[in-house]
Every structure is written in C-alpha cells, then in structure tokens.
Structure 1
Amino acid sequence: MNMIQAINDAHKVMMRRDPDIVVYGEDVGFFGGVFRATEGLQKEFGKQRCFDAPISEGGIVGTAVGMAAYGLKPVIEIQFADYIYPGYDQIVSEVAKMRYRTAGEWSMPMVIRSPYGGGIFGGQTHSQSPESLFTHIAGLKVVVPSTPYDAKGLLIAAIEDPDPVIFFEPKRIYNGPFDGHHDRPVTPWARHKASEVPEGHYTVPLGKAEIVREGEEVTILAYGTMVHVALAAVEDNKIDAEVIDLRTLVPLDIETIEKSVQKTGRCLIAQEAPRTSGFASELATLVQERCFYNLEAPVGRVTGWDTPYPHAYEWTYFPGPKRMKTALQKVMAD
C-alpha cells in the first residue's frame, strides 16, 4: 500500500469495528477526498457516517466537538493544513481544553486529519508545515507518519485514543516511498516499510519513536518526509549516523532520543517547516538539557527558510540531501 491506501484502510478497519465513528470534511464523501484518502467510505458506510461538510473549517471542528462530547468519535479532514487556521480557535479553546475544563467528565475522542507540507507544487496556501502551532497547545497529541505502515497503525491508535489527536499526513510521500531525491529509486528501508502493511487491525503506539538506522557518530532526529531525506543524505555521504523517526511529536519519546545522543555525542535535527520557533528548536533544547555533558558539538538544525512558502523555488526551499550534508559536516567537524 501507499500512504493514501493505508490511511483509507485504517478508516475502513475502524468504521467496521465501531459504529460510533463518523468521517466528514470538505469533499470527503461522494468525491472520496481531494487525495482519495476517504474513497469508498460513503458507499460502504452510508451518508450518515461519511459525509461532506460546508467550506467552514471552524464549523467542521466545532461540530466535531459536540459529537465527541455526545459520545461519537469524529474523524474529520481539513483538506489542507493551510486551511486549518479558521478552526484554530475551536481547536485551542474547546478541543484541547474540554477534558480539563470539565474535570474529566467529558473527553474529546476525535482525530483531525490533514495533508501537510510541500512537494506537489501547491503554492503558498497548499504547502505549509504548521505542526509547531499545535505541539505548543497542551491537551493535544500530534502525529506525523513517514511510511504507509506507520500511517495506518498510528491512525488506528489515534482513533482509539480518548483524547484529541492532530494527524498530519506528508503529501510528498502520499503516493509512494520517497528517499529525499525525487528523481531516483527509493531506499531499501522505505521499500520494506511500504510492502509490509498488514491487513486488518493493528496499532503503532503513540509516543514511541523508531530507530530506522543504527549508528555511532551522530544522531539525526526527523519526522515525516524528512526521515527519507535524512536517510538519503546518510547513505550518499557514508556517515555512520543513527536516524530516529519521531513519528509522534506529542507525546515525544524523549527516552529514545536521550539514549541515542548519549551514545553518539552529536545531534542534528531536520524539519521542513521554517526555522524560527519550529519544533526542531524544542528538540534542540531538550537534547541540550538532558545530554549537555555528552555533547561533543552544538546541536544542529536543517530547516525550511524563514519566508512564506516559495512556489517557484519549492525544491530549493526543501532541506534536501545537499543541505543535510553541509549540516552534517558542520556537526561532525565541531
């Protein structure tokens, strides 16, 4: 399966198991979603459980709050992460706070899915990476898968979780494995992860990172598309790096990170989002706080630019293997 098929299958698995799950958003019903991640759901489960919503992200999120409080389990899609901002107030003020403001009487068992990041020449309003806006909000869990296997297992785990989960799906790797170069074959790891998606129900636990490549010289922390970019850079430059796929940003598997950096003594963090106030900044601080006496060099970051997404320079904007190489050389030289 590719990632779209894996996400679609996760919906079907869970909707067959639990009649309280409802799926809706812009064009997710009859059309099957702009990327076809919900294709066939309305046909199998009917218009009561998979339906189209008006173009009102605040309304989509707000009605999901009511459904979740009532006892349903809404899985809503925001067509692009760039469109999520009209619903941000509902997410921050209602979704993230409900369990706390009701002293645990009401939970928010809901998932907010959204394609995010660049790679499809979508321009400034279809390519943003806003994950740090949600990792900062207490009460939310934030997930970013990098493979079809993880996408299905993490989405099932998110749907089963009693609390709200923001589920960002990297568009650049929707249709197949990707190794950081858009013009060459995929890495064996990416091919293996794409080929091993099981049928039926399984979960990938929230809050557990995966070491996708073991190494001794430097730890690379990445998530989503950047995992593939990191692996490409390491293989191209024959660096004995340990690459960690975070998979879940909140809750964060800090124990795996700490153990790796204590072993390697060096750390590089990769994100597609702009540099300033990105999630990489939080990771760098955590590594410095916990591993200061183990570090042989300052923690490095390779990121997108501090600029609105540049449509005409999309592949230059991405932190690709060449920029990863430069960042790795600096971390290794210090």
Structure 2
Amino acid sequence: MRFVVDTLASDMPEEIIKGCALALQEERDVSLILCGREQQISNILSQYNIDHDRLEIIDAADVITNEDSPTAAIKTKTESSLVKAYEALKRDDVDGMISSGSTGAVLTGAVLKMGRIRGVHRPALAPLLPTVDGGQVCLIDCGANVDCKPEYLVDFALMGISYMKSVFNIAEPRVGLVCVGVEDHKGNELTKEVFARLKALPINFCGNMEARDALSGKYDVLVCDGFVGNVLLKSVEGTAMMMGKLIKQTINDNLFSKIGALLMKDGLNSLKHTMNYQNKGGAPLLGIGKLIVKGHGAASKEATKAAVKQIKQMHQGNLIDCIKSELAKLKELQENGQNQ
C-alpha cells in the first residue's frame, strides 16, 4: 500500500519528515510519497536507515497557508505541496493522503480534486477521542461543516458507523446525538429532526447525549454539526491541558506530593499517554473517494508516525467500501419507504 504525505504545510515540516522515516522503519508493508522541499527531505532522511525502494519524493517549493483563501489557493498554487499531494493521490497506485496543512484547504482540495463518494452530501472530519474505559469514540463532525442540514448529520452517523465497524471491528457501534439534554424532545430544530431520522434507521442509536458523557465509554460514535463538534473537541483538549498543569503543580507543591508522584509514576505516565492527542494520529476526512487523514498543525514525528499507521488501518479495513455499503442501505430504505 502507498500513501502520499504533504510534508510542507504544517507548523513543523521537519517533524513530519522524521515521522515518515519512523513509519517507514516500522510499517514494512507501506510505501510513502513525500511532497515538499526535496533537499530538506533528503537531508533529514539521510539520518535514518530506511528502505529507499519504498520512498518517492516530489519536489514542491510553495505552501498553502492558513491566510490563503482555500479555493483560490487550490486553483492557483499549483506548485504547493498540498496540490501536488492531491495530484499524486489521483494515481491508481496511491491509496491515501496525510496532510497537517490548512483545514479549509485540505477540505476544499479533497472536494475539488478527488470528489465525494456518491450519496455523501458533505465530507466530515472524524477524530478519535479517548474514553474512560480505555477505548475510543469517534466524533463526527469536528469542524468541516459549521452549518448543516439534517441529511448531513445522517450521513455523518453512517460514516462514523462505517469507520468504527471497518477499522475497530465493532459490530454494532453505539451512536449518540450530541445535544443539550438526553430527553427525546430536547434540542433545536436541527437535532430534533436528526433524532427522528436516526431513530428510524436500523442502527444502534442510543438517543441524545450530553457533552459531559462524551468520554464515558457509553458511545462509539458522537454525531453533531461541525460547530458543536469543534467546540467539544477544543474543550476536551483544553481540559486535558489544564488537568496536566494542575497535576504538575500539585506534585511540586511539597515533598510528600513528590514522593507520592514517584510511587504513581507508571500510572501518571499512562494517563499522560492516553490524553496526548499526538498518539492518535489525525482526523480522517470521511466521505471522499480516497482515504485522507488531516493531521494536527503542530503534529510531532510521533503523531505523523501514528497517522501513517492509522491510514494503513483504514485501508486494511476497506473503509471506503464500507461507507458506500452503509449509504446504499440507506438509499434502499428510502426508496422502499417511498414505494409503500
């Protein structure tokens, strides 16, 4: 399997390249195409013992920034690393793409260059969040679509189900609709309509879910529009950072706290690992005809290595075909309902 990586459109291009080198060392059945400044890529990779037969470099001198208009940049910055990565993604021998660049540009490029899966109204970002039972939950959407129609969220639910089924082998993913209360009648016009539609589908729909239960382990898929999802995601990230700082302050408070921390060292390290987003890879952009993972703008080499492993698992799980299958079932149900 072969994946293309945009190495230039991130806060730390060097970390992306190093992460790719680590991935090549660990994932022996993966080949990578690196799009970026060729000399920089070659210089960094020379520090690693890697199989160059599984490596291709595409030189790209330009970069799309967060200040650029996504649509204009995708159309005019033809020498940028992201546009060249999308051009490589069109090849039959390339299975997916990873980029830590501008979210708007990645999303726009995906739609303009690759196109949506037939039946998908809007693609959506679907990161994984850790849960208290040691598992993970898929949050969809987390920022690709801030204004949504009910049919968009139904698509999000089916794509999230497909992700958890194909990659994590969960037979009947538990779906929750992010809302302001758990009662069936709670919510705004959008969530009330989505609730009714999801309840009518043959899925494991658990009803409305309050944000405080997002990481409870009671759900496998959390469905919401991109505005709500992004606020929820950033709140979780912010809370994790705050808790980390408070724990550190408490440990340094006195000698007894420091001794206690030493006794709890393994547990604290495990907690730190669980809450570190860098270990999760990135957010899959679901609904596009090929696999795409959107990495964090400040992705480290470990996050990049994890993103390569993540997109490999998505490919092995035949995620695209699974999404197509779930959408086909929905279409069949809708057609049968109209004929009755």
TM-score normalised over the length of structure 1: 0.28
Structure with higher Rg: it is 2
- Which of the pair has the greater relative contact order for Cα pairs under 8 Å at 6+ separation? 2
Per the normalisation by structure 2, the TM-score is 0.27
